[in-house]
A = this chain, B = another copy of it.
Amino acid sequence: MSSAVPPPRFDVLGIGNAIVDVLAPVDEAFITRHDMRKGSMTLIDAARAQAIYAAMPPAQETSGGSAANTCAAAAGLGARVAYLGRVAEDQLGAVFRHDIAAAGVHFPTAPLASGAPTARSMILVTPDGQRTMNTYLGACVAFGVAQVDEAAVADAAVTYMEGYLYDEPAAQAAFRHAAAVAHGAGRKVSLTLSDSFCVDRHRAAFLDLVRGHIDILFANESEICALYECNDLADAIARVRGEVALAAITRAGDGSIVVRGAETVEVAAEPTQLVDSTGAGDVYAAGFLAALTAGHDLAACGRLGSIAAAEIISHYGARLRPDFGDMATLLG
């Protein structure tokens, strides 16, 4: 960043779908019986949401949303964080608002006063630890350009957005606007590709974004391969290296690969016990961005991402324990 840019108030500002997770364990047969695509996120309407909820086991509710998970985790690790996303003025909206504020995240977006309820995602966890998400977007579809808090975006070192925003035209417009505001203020823009099927749905838009507007890209193997339509991770990495300044590619149990120009850093996975993979990518990005904006080198960024991911997959839910520890403690 040029020396003319003032120091930012926030290290990270996230923009995403503000969602309450409804999480329950199911067997493999449940996924098959309800025609779900295991491991993916599917958008559903209110009727389908009601049908799936009626069929699913007793659940636990926790605040979720990909970028919101990242923000809550980054704040817990010690970063200064803001979040923009839309809930409704209802009980689940109050739960979401409480949880993100209690995590220490500045959350200025006004709730939707009438209309659709707060979004929820029914997350079904199979015995192998995989999660299959069924998301009713509700009030999230009322997030648009008007909800982009320009002052906050201009005051954040990194504006971080989830690819899921591309499933709604208004959110897609908000994404582009936020990116322009951030760059106009001399800040960085970061994207996570979110889901390989999301990439399939919006490949042309993502390719255009990644080439021209993204400074820091997060993706897992299947997402980056979906973006570049190649089967070999090495090919995808060669492509991304030429197109974004910094990319972190997560590989589940095999750790992650960070590329910046000619530089490549391989990061090991932290040992853990997989219970529920929900939120693994989200909190990896949290650790990475918290360390990056604090001035750590790429190896430390990847390591903090891995440490956070190892914690989150060892239990149900996508938010770190409040007492997980801060960056300095975790990086030793």
Contacts and interface: CB of A to CB of B under 8 A. Distances in A.
A98 interface: yes
A322 B91 contact: no
Nearest to A54: B98
Interface string A72-98: 100000000000000000111001001
A54 B97 CA distance: 10
A321 B25 CA distance: 8
Interface stretch (A58-66, A150-158, A303-311): A58-66
Interface residues of A, number: 30
Contact of A99 (B59, B90, B102): B59
Contacts of A90: 91
B61 A62 contact: yes
A32 to B, nearest CB: 17
Contacts of A321: 25
Contact of A61 (B95, B100, B118): B95
Query: Taking each of A59, A72, A92, A103, which has the highest tally of chain B beta carbons within 10 Å of its own beta carbon?
Result: A59
A317 interface: yes
Interface of A: 24-25, 27, 53-54, 56-63, 72, 90-92, 95, 98-100, 102-103, 117-118, 317, 319, 321-323
13 contacts: A24-B322, A25-B321, A53-B98, A57-B103, A58-B100, A58-B103, A58-B322, A59-B95, A59-B98, A59-B102, A60-B61, A91-B92, A91-B117
